[in-house]
């Protein structure tokens, strides 16, 4: 059977003009079969490609991609033959994602909003009767320089970021603390930075190196100094770049709504619950972790 190298049908009346190759040398002794790749193409009544179904090596359905013309309109993900998530696209960008449990029941809905520059401006996640949201702001270079976290329209926190010319975050601030970076090495490890919290605690951190080898960290808390050996001070999670995505939203929210540290509250009105939750979180995170650690050291010393 003559192999066709053109990805469309040739009308019968034109086939006599088609160039052919009578003999084709095998590139390898083991010929590749299309059966090795589990993809099934589905066409509609007009003969256009409408879907592509992807299967694992064991024949399990992994996902279905639906097309509208040349663009993706929807993607369904499967596990154990049941749908686990569905993504809706428009103009090549995701606008909605629905998560399902093993029983096929809807668990959460994530929606994406875009600004005039077609960049994600907000991500909202609805779980049961709560809606979590992250609102992003951008600088003139299109970098995310603010992140506002909301729960049921109540603002939990607004985080602001400032970049240097090398696109690294050198300043972070929220309602609890401000972090300023003064020096970073070539491995993007923090050399010198300060943390100031909302009640006036000031901590200066200087990491010492010799021939690229970490020696220790000098810490000055409100004029009281000590030296430790702990590489944790070479990094700071609050200085990670905000990247508008579902993962970024979950990471940012988890830092504020860590239910393991919240005392259970029982009240009649949801708004009272939210307000109490916010107050608890503000008290627990009034000081950066590094400041709280040093205070404990001073108290026990």
The rounded distance, in Å, linking the Cα atoms of 241 and 77 is: 29
- Residue 36 pLDDT more than 80? no
What is the phi/psi pair of residue 166, to 5°? -95, 15
* Three-state DSSP class for residue 244: coil
- Residue 275 pLDDT more than 90? no
Whose CA is closest to 215, among 230, 201, 200?
230
Q: Which helix (H) or strand (E) holds 6?
A: none
- Residue 34 pLDDT more than 90? no
pLDDT for 278 equals 47
What is the phi/psi pair of residue 261, to 5°? -105, 10
What is the tens place of the pLDDT at every residue in 5-29? 677 777 887 777 777 766 555 444 5
14 against 78, higher pLDDT:
78
The rounded distance, in Å, linking the Cα atoms of 186 and 166 is: 11
pLDDT for 144 equals 96
Q: How confident is the model at residue 122 (pLDDT cuts 50, 70, 90)?
A: very high
pLDDT for 213 equals 94
Rounded percentage of the chain residues whose pLDDT exceeds 70: 78
What is the tens place of the pLDDT at every residue in 146-173? 999 999 989 999 999 999 999 999 999 9
- Residue 30 pLDDT more than 70? no
What string of DSSP letters covers the chain? -PPP-SSSPPPGGGGGG----S----SSSS---GGGS-EEEEE-TTS-EEEEEEE-TTS-EEEEEEEETTEEEEEEEEETTEEEEEEEEETTEEEEEEEE-TTS-EEEEEEEEE-TTS-EEEEEEEETTEEEEEEEEE-TTS-EEEEEEEETTEEEEEEEEEE-TTS-EEEEE-SSEEEEEEEE-TTS-EEEEEEEETTS-EEEEEEEEETTEEEEEEEEETTEEEEE--GGGG--GGGSPP--SHHHHHHHHHHH--GGGS-----SSHHHHHHHHHHHHHHHTSS-HHHHHHHHHHHH-
Q: What is the model's pTM?
A: 0.73
The rounded distance, in Å, linking the Cα atoms of 180 and 35 is: 57
What is the tens place of the pLDDT at every residue in 123-151? 999 999 899 999 999 999 999 999 999 99
pLDDT for 263 equals 40
Q: How confident is the model at residue 254 (pLDDT cuts 50, 70, 90)?
A: confident
């Amino acid at each position: 059977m003559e192999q066709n190298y053109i990805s469309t049908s040739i009308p019968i009346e034109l086939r006599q003009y088609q160039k052919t190759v009578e003999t084709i040398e095998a590139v390898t002794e083991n010929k590749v079969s299309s059966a090795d790749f589990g993809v099934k193409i589905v066409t509609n009544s007009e003969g256009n490609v409408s879907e592509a179904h992807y299967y694992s090596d064991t024949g399990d359905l992994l996902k279905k991609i639906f097309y509208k013309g040349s663009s993706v309109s929807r993607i369904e993900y499967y596990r154990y033959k049941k749908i686990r998530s569905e993504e809706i696209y428009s103009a090549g960008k995701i606008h909605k994602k629905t998560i399902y449990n093993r029983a096929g029941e809807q668990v959460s809905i994530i929606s994406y909003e875009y600004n005039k520059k077609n960049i994600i401006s907000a991500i909202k996640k609805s779980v049961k009767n709560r809606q979590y949201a992250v609102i992003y702001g951008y600088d003139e270079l299109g970098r995310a320089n603010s992140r506002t976290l909301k729960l049921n329209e109540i603002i939990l926190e607004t985080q602001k970021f400032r970049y240097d010319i090398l696109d690294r975050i050198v300043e972070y601030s929220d309602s609890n603390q401000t972090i300023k970076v003064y020096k970073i090495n070539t491995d993007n490890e923090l050399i010198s930075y300060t943390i100031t919290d909302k009640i006036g605690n000031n901590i200066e951190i200087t990491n010492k190196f010799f021939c690229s080898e970490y020696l220790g960290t000098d810490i000055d808390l409100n004029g009281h100094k000590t030296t430790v050996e702990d590489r944790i001070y070479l990094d700071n999670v609050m200085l990670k770049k905000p990247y508008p995505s579902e993962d970024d939203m979950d990471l940012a929210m988890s830092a504020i709504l860590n239910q393991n540290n919240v005392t259970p509250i029982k009240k009649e009105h949801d708004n009272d619950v939210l307000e109490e939750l916010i107050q608890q979180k503000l008290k627990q995170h009034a000081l950066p972790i590094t400041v709280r650690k040093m205070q404990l050291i001073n108290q026990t010393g």
